[in-house]
């Protein structure tokens, strides 16, 4: 059986302009996933977690790879992430911007079409860019969107931020077409999932803190 999450070309980071009078937004990073079909995402923007790492702290069964069988563009402006079955179990992909891009505040948004089924847990999330030095959970974690297979009509947003202060964070999920059944696997529509953060810093040291996708 194959399950997939479909990410479209609306994944981007926006920051507020300096002038509070204008109240506008300035796009500073995005990926439109507009490469040819079956090609890997842009390596200047994305890297990967690899292996199983003892279940990644969540008892996960899959092994993460950087292979096109598990993550590729479809030639129509979408990134497709597949779960594949193999003799050794399951394979999938977990992409991240670690070491390539981080943002301290602004708006982060992705347009995502989710799969459905028991046992899956697609997530759009961020970790503090200092995870390599302070570790988790001290680096902080923002789960912009989590969708649990047993709760297909519920999208969760949460923060795990020990010693970190965020000013008025706001999670949102927009869509879908109200005429489409939210729980129907064959017709689960695209939704826009995002987070708006005005400012983020460590309470202890007043340190500016960036987050990686």
32 given a catalytic annotation: no
Task: Specify whether 141 is catalytic.
Answer: yes
pLDDT at position 157:
83
pLDDT of 181 reads 47
Given the residues 32, 60, 146, 167, select the one marked as catalytic.
146
Q: Which SS3 state, helix, strand or coil, does residue 66 take?
A: coil
> Residues 62, 84, 109, 141: which is the catalytic one?
141
Q: Summarize pLDDT for 60-72 with one digit per residue, the tens.
A: 888 999 999 999 9
Q: What's the Cα-to-Cα distance from 116 to each of 80, 154, 192, rounded to whole Å? A: 15, 12, 17
Binned average pLDDT, 10 residues per bin, the chain of 213 residues: 41 40 72 91 93 87 92 89 86 90 82 81 85 82 84 81 66 62 53 72 44 49
User: What pTM value is reported for the model?
Assistant: 0.79
Domains for the chain: give ranges and CATH numbers: 3-212 (2.60.120.200)
């Amino acid at each position: 059986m194959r399950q997939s999450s479909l990410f479209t070309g609306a994944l981007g980071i926006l920051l507020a302009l300096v002038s509070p009078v204008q109240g506008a937004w300035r796009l500073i990073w995005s990926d439109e996933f507009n490469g040819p079909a079956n090609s890997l995402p842009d390596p200047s923007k994305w890297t990967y977690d690899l292996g199983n790492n003892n279940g990644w702290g969540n008892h996960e069964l899959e092994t993460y790879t950087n292979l096109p069988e598990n993550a590729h563009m479809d030639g129509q402006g979408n990134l497709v992430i597949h779960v594949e079955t193999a003799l050794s179990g399951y394979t999938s992909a977990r992409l991240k911007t670690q070491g390539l891009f981080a943002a301290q505040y602004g708006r982060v948004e992705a347009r995502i079409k989710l799969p459905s089924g028991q046992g899956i847990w697609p997530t759009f999330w961020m970790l503090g860019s200092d995870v390599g030095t302070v570790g988790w959970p001290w680096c902080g974690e923002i789960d912009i969107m989590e969708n649990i297979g047993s709760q297909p009509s519920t999208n969760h947003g949460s923060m795990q931020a020990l010693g970190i202060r965020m000013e008025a964070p706001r999670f949102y999920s927009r869509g879908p077409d109200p005429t489409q059944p939210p729980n129907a696997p064959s017709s689960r529509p695209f939704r826009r999932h995002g987070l708006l953060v005005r400012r983020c810093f460590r309470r202890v040291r007043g340190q500016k803190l960036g987050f990686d996708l």
